[in-house]
Amino acid sequence: MGITIKSPREIELMRESCRILSLVHDELAGMIRPGISTKEIDRAGEELIRSYGCTPNFLHYQGYPASVCVSVNEEVVHGIPSEARIIQEGDIVSLDMGLIYHGYHSDAARTHAVGEISPAAQKLIEVTRQSFFEGVKMAKAGNHLHDISNAIAAYVKPYGYGIVRALVGHGIGTRMHEDPQIPNFAQIRRGPKLKPGMTLAIEPMINMGTGDVEWLDDGWTVVSADHSLSAHYENTVLITDGEPEILTLGKR
Ligand code: MF3
Ligand code: CO
């Protein structure tokens, strides 16, 4: 379908969709503590999204049964919230969530530490987050899409972590997943040229071991094949004439 260029009016709607999502993410971050179930986090996320007059875009997406993906430890993405899954001290918990505001989608993910975690786990979270910022430095008009991919991959490489290749970032707008796909690993071709008005969900997923993944029998939960810890960091980003605008970070 090609990469869509958003009009100024559409960009305003994307900004608002993303601003609200950043507020909901911040609220959920404050709820994560030992003893809470992953379903409670999902329920709170859905209620908050609806309280802003928005719709959760993950709910019922290809049959996905919740509004927030809650992925714990070796779970990479798409963990299904459950009353039986209780967050423990020392866990790392990835929250991935999006919403629709006046027809426009936003999408963002963060990995949180629960209480004291190991220095190695802390490093994984930090490198994953920073790899997004290294990629986004390249998200400028005139650069090419894969400059983003290559910057993420080059930053992660010295740490010896595994970059997940089976899942990638994506364009976003009136649909959650639009063209282009945005790999987080090194590319040979440069990919399409970036233009102002493109909106991209850039989302590195990084494992402490290899980047290989498997799907659990629930059909959704993606886990690292070697059961090593995994972290995820995602924002919806606007390409402009100048510096990229990270729409889901809010004003800070
Ligand atoms: N968050 C995923 C992405 O960034 C989409 C999740 S779809 C769901 O592309 F169905 F699992 F919610
Ligand atoms: Co996404």
pLDDT of residue 251: 66
| Ligand 1 atom closest to 203 (CA) | 4
Question: Which amino acid does the sequence have at 176?
Answer: M
Distance 111 CA to ligand 1 centre (A): 15
Quick one: which of 52, 17, 71 has its CA closest to 201?
A: 17
Distance 61 CA to ligand 1 centre (A): 8
pLDDT of residue 250: 77
**Whose CA is closest to atom 11 on ligand 1?**
78
Mean pLDDT (the chain) is 98
- 58 Cβ closer than 6 Å to some ligand 1 atom: yes
CB-count exposure of residue 247 (10 Å: 0-12, 13-18, 19+):
buried
Q: What is the pLDDT of residues 111-143, one digit of tens each?
A: 999 999 999 999 999 999 999 999 999 999 999
- 178 Cβ closer than 6 Å to some ligand 1 atom: no
pLDDT of residue 78: 98
**Alpha-carbon distance values, 223 to 23, 78, 137, 150, 172 (Å):** 28, 9, 29, 24, 25
Let me know: does 138 contact 146? Beta carbons within 8 Å.
no
- 233 Cβ closer than 6 Å to some ligand 1 atom: no
Let me know: does 138 contact 131? Beta carbons within 8 Å.
no
pTM as predicted: 0.98
Looking at domain 8-246, its CATH superfamily turns out to be: Creatinase/methionine aminopeptidase superfamily (3.90.230.10)
What percentage of the chain exceeds 90 in pLDDT? Answer: 98
pLDDT average, residue stretch 18-24: 98
pLDDT of residue 176: 98
Domain spans, the chain:
8-246
Distance 45 CA to ligand 1 centre (A): 15
Distance 74 CA to ligand 1 centre (A): 17
Mutate to test the pocket of ligand 1, among 176, 215, 218, 248 (most ligand atoms within 8 A of CB): 176
| Ligand 1 atom closest to 59 (CA) | 12
Identify the band that residue 163 occupies on the pLDDT scale cut at 50, 70 and 90.
Answer: very high
pLDDT of residue 1: 78
| Ligand 1 atom closest to 167 (CA) | 9
pLDDT at 108 over 70: yes
Ligand with smallest separation from the Cα of 58? 1
- 69 Cβ closer than 6 Å to some ligand 1 atom: yes
pLDDT average, residue stretch 42-51: 99
Quick one: which of 178, 198, 191, 180 has its CA closest to 238?
A: 198
Residue whose pair of structure tokens reads 């993606």 in the numeric block: 222
Cα angle: 204, vertex 136, 81; to 5 degrees: 35
